[in-house]
Amino acid sequence: MATSELPNDEFVLPKQKTIWDNILRMLRRQPLGSAGAVVIILMAFAAVFAESIAPFDPELENFEYMLSPPGTVHEDTGKVFYFGTDSFGRDQLSRMIYGARTALLVGFTASFCGAFLGLILGVASAYFGGYIDLVLQRVCDVFMAFPLIIMALAIVSIFGTGVEMVIIAITIPFIPNCARVVRSSALALKGLPYIDAARSVGYGHVRIIMRHMVPNVMAPFLIMLTAFVGQAILTEASLSYLGMGVQEPTAAWGLMLQGGAEEYAESAPWVPIWPGVAITLAVFGFNLFGDAVRDVLDPKLRSQT
Amino acid sequence: MYTYIVKRMLMVFPTLFGAAVVVFLLLRLIPGDVCMLKFGGEGGYADPEQIKQCQDMLKLTDPKIKQFYDYMSGFVRFDLGKSMWTQQDVTHEIAIRFPMSLQIAIMATFVSVIIAVPLGVISAAKQNTLVDYFVRAISIAGIAMPSFWLGIVIILGLLIATQAWTGVPWMPPIFYKPIWVDPMHNISQLIWPALATGYRYSSVATRMTRSAMLDVLREDYVRTARAKGLIEKIIVNKHALKNAMLPVVTVIGIEFAFLMGGLVVTEQVFNLNGVGKLFVESVTQADYTLTQSLVMLVVFIYVVINFLVDLMYAWLDPRIRYS
């Protein structure tokens, strides 16, 4: 008997899904989220390979090319200033590419630290309950009464400026926000039998929190995390714009807008336009991606927003 | 209702007290103080005698508990002290700048409501159509765009547009005149920052209106209205919108409180001498009395507006009071 006559032959196993199938599926289901992902990937690419992509050294000042319009050719090297130069004659495109590095560093570090600390605090608050919960929640209330930028500015005023300080200043306000959201999910978990079981086996608090509760509140954690990245990038840009964030000569988008961008609005519009486009695109990308993550992880919201 | 009001009001004080403590801890217990900053600078030599004198004058050598007591009793007496930089009364410094910032905040809220409610309603009524996608893209872009950059773009657009039309570039007036003195002058100066901030704040409200409308449009009474043959326009505008406004009102209220934060950057772009700019200056000059008062002002506005929003909510939806 030939193998093709076997009855089993009709039930061919579905072809194993390749990574491309998965990507196509995501494109179809979450077109906006995919667009966001593309922006994020491009940004990450620019940040990682900044040295090889950027045509110029971002901190190199060419005083003979101050405020050159886009398309000006550098005579010695023959390279083109595609986005023009700023008031120090530095190449705008190179500064934007290196700026992606600063934005992503601040964005990822601040949102990851903030969301992670919030996660631990939120779960612990729900797990212990009672006075600990009450006190922690009131502290969160207090911190959440400060607008993000005000809190960040107040912190910078004490600790000083620079990339590390900006990260701290943005991380602190994120903690209570995430703790609040995670806590409400963790409260629902606390009553479930497997937590009681874990406790009756004699596991310690830390083990129950870290191994049994934290993995089950990953959905709100990831939603907050992705939402934070865009906010962090925006806040970093605002702080740098106000002169209280990343300091010269480091390349940062907000800083590029600070160097008297309004003054040049008329004579050299490329100075204020491009960094703003970069900030908007980056935050737009992270927001779209964050919305898609929320849609996938939180089916209740799927049809609404 | 009265018990609810009193209960809710009592919850305001712990938050305010907590915020005051946080601000105090942040600004006073950290090593180094204004005097060291003022005379020492970054690694510069400071005369210890001079620092001591300055610290005595500002009562920084008092025990921390006494400092805290003075600081808290100042709030109760509405005596916020003197600015450490200009030696003017903090209350005076804030009072001369507050009306303008408040006006921008109110105008920005108007702008945001005018944008958000119609867009949100259209987007919900035409869910998953091109119109819906377009509105959602606009609202996500609003959150993504920094308001200071939008401000720069507005100024640039004004310059180019007026140059093209009249041949003379026009810039908004620089000096502030109260609206009752010169309404035209006032509006033509403040409408631009209001637009820049308002558009940004409309985004959240648009999304809220959309999702609230979608919820309401699925309710039974809407189906009844459709079944009896009512025109869709009336269903959306008269029956659904009113009930969908509840969460939107909350969002707008809270956004108003946070507008004060948004003004910090916008006033910088438009070079307006308001509360936001004062805050940035006080931070740059390490003027702690001014910084702490301004932070507390923002927190106070936030807490009070939250309180009012909660009251309004309870008034609009009686179920909340009893839960």
Q: Give pLDDT tens digits for A242-283.
A: 888 888 778 888 888 876 666 676 677 777 888 889 999 999
Alpha-helix residue ranges (DSSP H) falling in chain A? 19-29, 31-48, 50-53, 92-128, 130-144, 148-159, 163-190, 193-201, 205-207, 218-241, 253-258, 270-297
The total number of residues written for chain A in this structure: 305
Distances in whole angstroms, Cα of residue A302 to Cα of each of A29, A30, A291, A293, B196: 12, 11, 10, 10, 31
pLDDT at A70: 79
Banded pLDDT at A1 (limits 50, 70, 90): very low
Banded pLDDT at A107 (limits 50, 70, 90): very high
> Which residues in chain A touch residue B287, judged by CB atoms under 8 angstroms apart?
none
Q: Looking at residue B38, what DSSP letter applies?
A: I
Stretch 208-237 of chain A: residues touching chain B, C-beta under 8 Å: 230, 234, 237
CA distance A253 to A97: 9
How does pLDDT run across B297-313, given as a tens digit for each residue? 888 888 888 888 878 77
Give the number of other CB atoms < 10 A from CB of residue B181: 9
What parts of chain B have a pLDDT lower than 50?
none
> Which residues in chain B touch residue A145, judged by CB atoms under 8 angstroms apart?
15, 19, 299, 302-303
Q: Determine which helix (DSSP H) or strand (DSSP E) holds A72, and give its type and residue range.
A: strand A72-73
Q: Determine contact, residues B260/B276, Cβ cutoff 8 Å.
A: yes
pLDDT at A303: 43
How does pLDDT run across A73-88, given as a tens digit for each residue? 777 777 777 777 777 7
Q: Write the CATH number of the domain with boundaries A96-304.
A: 1.10.3720.10
Q: What is the CA radius of gyration of chain A?
A: 25
- Across chain A, mean pLDDT equals 82
Residue A304 has pLDDT above 50, yes or no: no
In terms of phi and psi (left: phi > 0; alpha: psi -120 to 50; beta: otherwise), the region of A208 is alpha
Query: Region A91-111: what's the mean pLDDT?
Result: 90
Q: Which of A146, A262, A288 sits opposite B269 (nearest CB)?
A: A262
pLDDT at B132: 86
Residue A30 has pLDDT above 80, yes or no: no
How does pLDDT run across A172-215, given as a tens digit for each residue? 989 998 998 888 888 888 888 998 899 899 998 999 988 888 88
Positive or negative torsion for Cα B27, A244, A100, A55: negative
Q: Looking at residue A146, what DSSP letter applies?
A: S
Which tokens in the block code for residue A244?
């209280």
Residue A283 touches chain B, beta carbons under 8 Å: yes
More confident: B36 or A285: A285
CA distance A211 to A222: 17
**ipTM, 2 decimals?**
0.80
Q: Determine contact, residues B98/B273, Cβ cutoff 8 Å.
A: no
> Which residues in chain A touch residue B261, judged by CB atoms under 8 angstroms apart?
147-150
> Which residue type is seen at B223?
R
Backbone phi and psi for residue B59, each to the nearest 5 degrees, phi listed first: 60, 35
Q: Determine contact, residues A185/A217, Cβ cutoff 8 Å.
A: yes
Positive or negative torsion for Cα B78, B82, B84, B86: positive
How does pLDDT run across A115-169, given as a tens digit for each residue? 999 999 999 999 998 888 888 888 888 888 888 888 888 888 777 778 888 899 8
Residue identified by tokens 């558009």 is B199
More confident: B45 or A292: A292
Query: Region A289-297: what's the mean pLDDT?
Result: 81
Banded pLDDT at A305 (limits 50, 70, 90): very low
